[in-house]
């Protein structure tokens, strides 16, 4: 797939032809997907990665002082892993995958689904992201219990 052959779907419904998921969206829905799943999600993911990485660096210094610093360090670490694994999936696969087509009119999401590398990597990334999300939730519970006691 050549990068010059990829274009953002026309936001005007009359210009879109063929039958795919993007054809079922009107112009407002396409703009909404672009704004939320691509632009806004990208900003949130970048901020999350930067701020969680800074938290890890700061909390590393206080690791031996209290159990709370260890728990918050683990929480920042799992948040960073979760964001790093879920960002490409949400932005590229769910957002751009619906809106971007190649020159033949085939959706990027369809091309990604047909890729053998994606078929192998996506379940592994999904599993690791789910494990990081679950660990993050348990650590939040442990932090709450630690603060309560």
Task: Using the predicted structure, report yes or no on whether residue 117 has a pLDDT greater than 90.
Answer: no
Task: Using the predicted structure, report yes or no on whether residue 31 has a pLDDT greater than 90.
Answer: no
- Domain range summary for the chain, segments of one domain joined by +: 27-148
**pTM attached to this predicted model:** 0.68
Distance CA 62, CA 69 (A): 6
Task: Using the predicted structure, report yes or no on whether residue 10 has a pLDDT greater than 70.
Answer: no
Between helices 41-61 and 67-88, what is the axis angle to 10°? 150
Confidence (pLDDT) at 13:
39
Beta strands in 7-72 (DSSP E): 7-8
Residue 22: pLDDT band with limits 50, 70, 90: low
Residue 35: pLDDT band with limits 50, 70, 90: confident
What is the tens place of the pLDDT at every residue in 91-104?
777 767 666 666 66
40-44, 75-79, 114-118, 133-137: lowest mean pLDDT where? 114-118
Distance CA 106, CA 99 (A): 10
Q: Residue 69: how many CA atoms within 13 Å on its side-chain side?
A: 11
Percent of the chain with pLDDT strictly greater than 90 = 26
Distance CA 109, CA 138 (A): 33
Give mean pLDDT, residues 53-78. 88
Confidence (pLDDT) at 39:
84
Tokens of 90: 């949400």
Closest CA to 79 of 140, 142, 143, 145: 140
């Amino acid at each position: 797939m050549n990068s010059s052959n990829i274009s953002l779907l026309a936001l005007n419904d009359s210009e879109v032809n063929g039958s795919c998921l993007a054809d079922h969206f009107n112009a407002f829905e396409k703009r909404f997907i672009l704004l939320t799943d691509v632009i806004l999600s990208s900003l949130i993911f970048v901020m999350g990665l930067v701020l969680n990485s800074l938290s890890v660096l700061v909390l590393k210094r206080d690791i031996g002082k209290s159990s709370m610093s260890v728990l918050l360090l683990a929480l920042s670490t799992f948040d960073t892993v979760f964001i790093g694994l879920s960002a490409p999936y949400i932005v590229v696969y769910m957002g751009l995958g619906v809106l971007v087509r190649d020159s033949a009119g085939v959706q990027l999401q369809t091309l990604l689904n047909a890729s053998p590398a994606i078929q192998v990597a996506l379940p592994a990334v999904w599993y690791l992201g789910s494990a990081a999300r679950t660990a993050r939730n348990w650590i939040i519970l442990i932090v709450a219990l630690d603060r309560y006691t």
